[in-house]
Chain A
């Protein structure tokens, strides 16, 4: 575990995500979920974090050349930072639309590529930022507040 402790983060974990590794895909999200459960966070918050982390992880597996998910637990929130190197997203607005996907036929046959990942991440997040540079990679930041709607 790297010792990068952001100011304000009570705890920080990093997961490496390998591209195209469908056997291990989803493991990071599962580990994160278990960790949040051990911390005793609110079930609804855990659910949203698990969904966001899972979709982000799958996007790194499917669409990038590999990357990392770093999660900070702060007193107010769960911050999920995702960064990958990869082709990037040329039209972010389009990518955020429900049902939009560039996943190959082969990926779809595996049951992925419904084009709901980014919209679901957005729906789970209290704050959501996405940046992408074509030819270089994509980064996401997802904030989930412990006490939503307050």
Chain B
């Protein structure tokens, strides 16, 4: 396994080195050095904030595309609930959207929304069995990684249950294997993803070894093709099975309502999530059972790889679910009860902390570095202007202490340095004996600046 896979990557040619992204990054994972941005891979959580903010489209999500389908004998599309939210119109329906996916070349579809219903019930069971409060959803992979690197104290608040897409892949493949007698490797399961975080989560899962999902195709990629086939995609009975409970996972509050424990709340937008996690770290929110946390504003409908405006997506989901049952099918609930006992939904291993804040492995070295850090911060102007290529003066000081930058990277320190250098030069120049002609002009008539006599 490679050290870290990241879906979010930099297109160096497009980067103008403008520093807009560095301040927006929630883990301070970007630096601009030598006129180009660089993503620090230990810190990056693939949330895609930089993709959204970069005016030059220099940040890109690496994902899969349709060419991968040909590698498999049988393919199944796993549309995220947020995928539905891209479509609207008088006679639009989830059934037609699913039919559209079949027309794009998938052999089958399995709604991630249906797996989300399983996961909602499993989460409820887990909350009932645990005494840790508040428990935090692990469904958004950007949040899981945020907690690992920036809130390592809170990893045991994460609910160790698989995300809906993983459960969807497994349910879909097991069903197809049973029905068609195919082997697992012969089936390709493709998530239609709203975000790079999910791409990373599939390529490099946390809490288990290998994903049942074989590829992640961005909603943006599928959307263009869908527009061509949708006019011919007809309402197809039997394709659409999830209730509105599962489909609403595609937007903020959907998960929290589906989990339906007594004291719960939903936070969306990574910077709001950070505020809440900071409060949890000092012991607040212990009277809350469950917190849904989503990196994107509005939830997955606001994902960086979606097409529609998230507010529009929100309403589209409302319209598409209007005629769906508003309760989880009792058959699904009975199946979850059975599979829960088998441990079907549980992650295989613990979610490990992975702090990026530690200055040194050795405590006394770390203390030395903190003292140096304090001094360096005092020395810097405290403007957090970002011109140095680090997100704040504090961050530059950390970079300096870690040997990754120097004081001269600060334009103000550099200016002061140049200024005193210039003054020294001037002083030196004064001490040098002048030429005779120079002395003359100095004593007598001084010509006006442009050399003309008045």
Is B416 an interface residue, CB under 8 A from the partner? no
Select the stretch in A25-33, A93-101, A102-110 that faces chain B: A25-33
Residues of B within 8 A of A38 (CB): 357-359, 366, 369-370, 373
Which DSSP category, helix, strand, loop or mixed, fits chain B's interface? helix
Residues of B within 8 A of A120 (CB): 283
> Chain B 88-119 against A: per-residue CB contact (8 Å), 1 yes, 0 no?
00000000000000000000000000000000
A40 touches B367 (CB 8 A): no
Interface residues on B, range: 20 to 34
Is A129 an interface residue, CB under 8 A from the partner? no
Interface size counted on chain A using CB atoms at 8 A: 25
Select the stretch in A41-49, A60-68, A82-90 that faces chain B: A41-49
B282 touches A43 (CB 8 A): no
A37-B357, A39-B358, A40-B359 given; A50·B367 CB < 8 A: no
Is B355 an interface residue, CB under 8 A from the partner? yes
B364 touches A37 (CB 8 A): no
A38-B370, A43-B152 given; A50·B359 CB < 8 A: no
Is A34 an interface residue, CB under 8 A from the partner? yes
Residues of A within 8 A of B152 (CB): 37, 43, 46
B282 touches A51 (CB 8 A): yes
Rounded to whole angstroms, the CA-CA distance of A39 and B355 in the bound complex is 11
Is A148 an interface residue, CB under 8 A from the partner? no
B370 touches A50 (CB 8 A): no
Is A23 an interface residue, CB under 8 A from the partner? no
A50-B153, A54-B283 given; A40·B361 CB < 8 A: yes
Is B210 an interface residue, CB under 8 A from the partner? no
Return the contact of B367 from the options A11, A30, A34, A51 (Cβ within 8 A): A11
Rounded to whole angstroms, the CA-CA distance of A120 and B287 in the bound complex is 14
Return the contact of A51 from the options B283, B355, B370, B371 (Cβ within 8 A): B283
Residues of A within 8 A of B353 (CB): 43
Is A7 an interface residue, CB under 8 A from the partner? no
CB distance from A75 to the nearest CB of B (A): 8
Residues of B within 8 A of A50 (CB): 153, 281-283
B359 touches A33 (CB 8 A): no
A34 touches B357 (CB 8 A): yes
Is B363 an interface residue, CB under 8 A from the partner? yes
A37 touches B282 (CB 8 A): no
> Chain B 347-391 against A: per-residue CB contact (8 Å), 1 yes, 0 no?
000000101011111011011011101100000000000000000
CB distance from B397 to the nearest CB of A (A): 11
Residues of B within 8 A of A47 (CB): 153-154, 281
Residues of A within 8 A of B363 (CB): 10, 39-40, 75
A43 touches B355 (CB 8 A): yes
Is B155 an interface residue, CB under 8 A from the partner? yes
Residues of A within 8 A of B373 (CB): 38
Is B278 an interface residue, CB under 8 A from the partner? yes
Rounded to whole angstroms, the CA-CA distance of A47 and B371 in the bound complex is 23
Is A126 an interface residue, CB under 8 A from the partner? no
Rounded to whole angstroms, the CA-CA distance of A40 and B153 in the bound complex is 11
Rounded to whole angstroms, the CA-CA distance of A120 and B283 in the bound complex is 9
Return the contact of A29 from the options B153, B154, B282, B364 (Cβ within 8 A): B282
Residues of A within 8 A of B355 (CB): 37, 40, 43
Q: Which residue of A lies closest to B360 (CB)?
A: A40
> Chain B 272-313 against A: per-residue CB contact (8 Å), 1 yes, 0 no?
000000100111000000000000000000000000000000
Residues of B within 8 A of A1 (CB): 374
CB distance from B393 to the nearest CB of A (A): 15
A44 touches B282 (CB 8 A): no
CB distance from B340 to the nearest CB of A (A): 29
Top 4 nearest A-B pairs by Cβ distance? A40-B358, A54-B282, A37-B357, A51-B283
**20 chain-A/chain-B pairs, Cβ below 8 angstroms:** A10-B364, A30-B278, A34-B357, A37-B355, A38-B359, A38-B366, A38-B373, A39-B358, A39-B359, A40-B355, A40-B359, A40-B363, A43-B153, A43-B353, A47-B154, A50-B153, A50-B281, A50-B282, A51-B282, A53-B282
